[in-house]
């Protein structure tokens, strides 16, 4: 057995205080399970720009009480270094995943040991409520224990700053540096002692009410709920997560009937009814659609475990159709900007934000309604950062933003994607369409007729472990050093490299530094027909993602437009599969 791995495992056993995680590693050592031990100790779990995410278990390359304590100690040191003593306050929340409540308490205990007062939610709450609470309570930081929509074996830890958004430069780099300095045993104050000294305080019902009223206040046309809600039926699934109570409570107050899928209503970190608790994929909504058919519902909604992502399905023909994240973003952008403009509610210099891999139709819609649109890197923290910049220079007023992976935010009370408020706005948008005798699919067709037919393709491939990381690094390096001349038989005109902020022009073979965004390991290829192909290794999972976005002028002939884009996507997918096959 590798002596270095053995030594790391023994050090971990000395540092880890949780018996369950200690026993896992002890058993592997006794069994001389080299493969498993290597996977758990070949590296320390990275504290990245968004925090931690990894498989739950014993080891330095796992999420456990020790790695949570180490991350929190680094955050605490950064707070002590950067924040005046009177302002050192934090908020911690958690979702339904295994050990989330324990990890949240461990984080609070470590902060308490550094003299940082912490509000700890008394039970699971959604990510957007954590973001809201940071701002409401005047905290300097927040922690959300969640792995979002990942499989059940994962958990994670996201860090927020005083504006309620996930940390961005310079704070992210500063926190990472402090986390990397932490070694040895990490002290945590006894929970009872911390509570007695006021260093850990409970957060609960008062924040629930304030957040709920804020969400209801996001409604653009509340009269729709008064006039139409009683005749409209929604089937909802929280996918065993944190959305149940806020969604049910808020819709009840709005007078709208919501039927929650009973098999998925209760929190359960094992997610027994789904392989992936992800509202982006059809199997996760299967039980909800089955119930919707039985109940003759008008709309299906699903939130992920920490209730920051929302997916919907709608009746179409004799069945039900899932609405993609890009398309729901387009529908909401059209509804929010259109109705706000008609009612005179648009602020001066309204702004819309989405990401570099999100459908361009959203930008065109927002601009059509008089807004200025902005594109940022993938990750909602960059939308939150842009909102802060708008407030600082007072040039633009943020109205709405979204990303393709089912994340949306209206207003500025929250600074991360918010599935709860988006559920309310999506229901309102559905009621508005119903009032004018339209379905949601018919609303989409209106947009395609005006702006052209847009569609997107996402291909994601997992590459686990040390070897998987090497494969992904090799793939990106190969694309950088030898850009393709064409993709799917369509000529490549430009390659944008977001790690260097440069664009390479295929025609003259020149590179120009012209991208004013933070450095990120992302490559984007602009094809001669306007199609965009983006390659991006995930920052939170062992996978690489390829995004393709294409447009057809045949927006008024949808079958023809679909056939045209299906042919393009088939050729693009073939190119991606060949690329992956050459590296794997």
pLDDT for res 48: 81
Residues 199 and 306 in one domain: no
pLDDT confidence of residue 82: 95
Domain contains 428: yes
Residue 338: inside a domain: yes
- End-of-domain residue from the set 203, 233, 260: 203
- pLDDT at res. 270: 97
Q: Do 278 and 361 fall within a single domain?
A: yes
Domain for residue 92, yes or no?
yes
Which pLDDT value is given to residue 50? 77
Q: State whether 287 and 417 are in the same domain.
A: yes
Q: Can you give the pLDDT at residue 460?
A: 87
Among 177, 203, 229, identify where a domain stops.
203
Query: Does residue 348 share a domain with residue 258?
Result: yes
Q: Where in the sequence is the domain holding 564, given as residue range(s)? A: 453-583
The answer to whether residue 213 is domain-embedded is: no
Same domain, yes or no: 108 and 257: no
In a domain, 28, yes or no: no
Residue 55 pairs with which residues in a beta bridge?
154
Residue ranges of the chain with per-residue pLDDT less than 70: 1, 539-541, 584
The 10s digit of each residue's pLDDT in 118-171 is: 999 999 999 999 999 999 999 999 999 999 999 999 999 999 999 999 999 899
Do 274 and 187 share a domain, yes or no? no
**162: CATH:** 3.40.120.10
Same structural domain for residues 70 and 123?
yes
Q: Of 176, 203, 230, at which residue does a domain stop?
A: 203
Could you tell me which residues come within 8 angstroms of residue 22 by beta carbon, excluding any fewer than 6 positions away? 13, 16, 58
Separation of alpha carbons 332 and 401, rounded Å: 10
Q: Does 459 lie in the same domain as 492?
A: yes
Together in a domain, 262 and 395: yes
Give a yes or no: residue 341 inside a domain: yes
Residue whose entry in the numeric block shows the structure tokens 């959300």: 144
pLDDT at 473: 86
Residue 414: closest CA among 131, 130, 119, 50: 131
For residue 33, being part of any structural domain is answered with: no
Q: pLDDT value at position 540?
A: 62
For residue 578, what are the CA distances in angstroms to 456, 458, 488, 565, 583? Answer: 20, 16, 11, 20, 9
Domain shared by 508 and 537, yes or no: yes
β-pairing, 200-203 vs 543-552, is unpaired
Assign residue 7 a region (left: φ > 0; alpha: ψ between -120 and 50; beta: otherwise): alpha
Pair 317, 382 in one domain: yes
Number of domains in the chain: 3
Q: Is 23 within a domain?
A: no
Helix crossing, 127-136 with 205-217: angle to 10°? 100
| End-to-end Cα spacing for the chain | 27
224 and 358 fall within a common domain: yes
Catalytic residue numbers, as ranges: 148
pTM of the model: 0.94
Q: What is the pLDDT of residue 137?
A: 98
């Amino acid at each position: 057995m590798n002596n270095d791995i053995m030594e790391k495992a023994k050090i971990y056993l000395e540092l880890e205080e949780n018996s369950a995680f200690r026993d896992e590693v002890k058993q592997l050592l006794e069994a001389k399970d080299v493969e498993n031990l290597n996977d758990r100790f070949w590296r320390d779990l990275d504290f990245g720009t968004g925090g931690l995410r990894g498989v739950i278990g014993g080891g330095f390359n796992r999420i456990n009480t020790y790695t949570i304590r180490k991350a929190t100690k680094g955050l605490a040191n950064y707070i002590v270094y950067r924040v005046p003593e009177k302002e050192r306050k934090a908020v911690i929340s958690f979702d339904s995943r295994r050990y989330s409540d324990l990890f949240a308490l461990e984080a609070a205990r470590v902060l308490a040991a550094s003299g940082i007062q912490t509000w700890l939610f008394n039970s699971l709450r959604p990510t957007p409520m954590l973001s809201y609470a940071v701002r409401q309570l005047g905290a300097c930081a927040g922690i959300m224990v969640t792995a979002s929509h990942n499989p059940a074996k994962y958990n994670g830890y996201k860090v927020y700053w005083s504006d309620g958004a996930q940390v961005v430069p310079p704070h992210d780099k500063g926190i990472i540096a402090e986390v990397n300095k932490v070694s040895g045993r990490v002290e945590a104050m006894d929970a009872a002692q911390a509570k007695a000294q006021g260093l850990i305080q409970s957060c609960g019902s008062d924040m629930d009410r304030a957040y709920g009223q804020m969400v209801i206040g996001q409604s653009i046309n509340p009269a729709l709920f008064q006039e139409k809600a009683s005749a409209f039926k929604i089937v909802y699934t929280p996918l065993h997560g944190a959305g149940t109570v806020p969604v049910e409570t808020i819709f009840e107050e709005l007078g709208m009937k919501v039927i929650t899928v009973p098999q998925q209503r209760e929190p359960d970190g094992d997610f027994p009814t789904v392989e992936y608790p992800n509202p982006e994929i059809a199997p996760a909504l299967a039980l909800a659609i089955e119930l919707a058919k039985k109940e003759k519902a008008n709309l299906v909604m699903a939130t992920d475990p920490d209730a920051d992502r929302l997916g919907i399905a709608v009746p179409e023909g004799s069945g039900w159709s899932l609405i993609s994240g890009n398309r729901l973003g387009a529908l909401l952008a059209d509804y929010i900007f259109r109705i706000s403009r008609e009612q005179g509610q648009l602020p001066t210099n309204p702004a819309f934000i989405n990401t570099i891999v999100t459908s361009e139709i959203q930008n065109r819609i927002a601009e059509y309604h008089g807004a200025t649109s902005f594109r940022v890197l993938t990750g909602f923290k960059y939308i939150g950062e842009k909102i802060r910049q708008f407030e600082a220079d007072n040039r633009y007023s943020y109205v709405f933003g979204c990303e393709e992976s089912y994340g949306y935010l209206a207003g500025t009370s929250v600074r991360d994607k918010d599935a709860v408020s988006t559920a309310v706005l999506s229901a309102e948008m559905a009621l508005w369409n119903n009032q004018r005798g339209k379905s949601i699919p018919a609303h989409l067709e209106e947009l395609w007729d005006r702006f052209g037919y847009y569609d997107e393709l996402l291909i994601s491939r997992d590459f686990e472990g040390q070897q998987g990381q090497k494969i992904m690094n090799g793939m990106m390096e190969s694309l950088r050093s030898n850009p393709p001349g064409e993709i799917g038989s369509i000529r490549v005109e430009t390659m944008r490299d977001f790690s260097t902020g440069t664009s390479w022009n295929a025609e003259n073979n020149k590179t120009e530094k012209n991208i004013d965004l933070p450095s990120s390991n992302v490559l984007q290829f602009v094809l001669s027909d306007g199609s965009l192909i983006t390659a991006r290794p995930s920052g939170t999972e062992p996978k690489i993602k390829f995004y393709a976005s294409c447009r057809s002028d045949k927006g008024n002939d949808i079958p023809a437009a679909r056939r045209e884009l299906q042919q393009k996507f088939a050729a693009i997918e073939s190119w991606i599969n060949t690329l992956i096959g050459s590296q794997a």
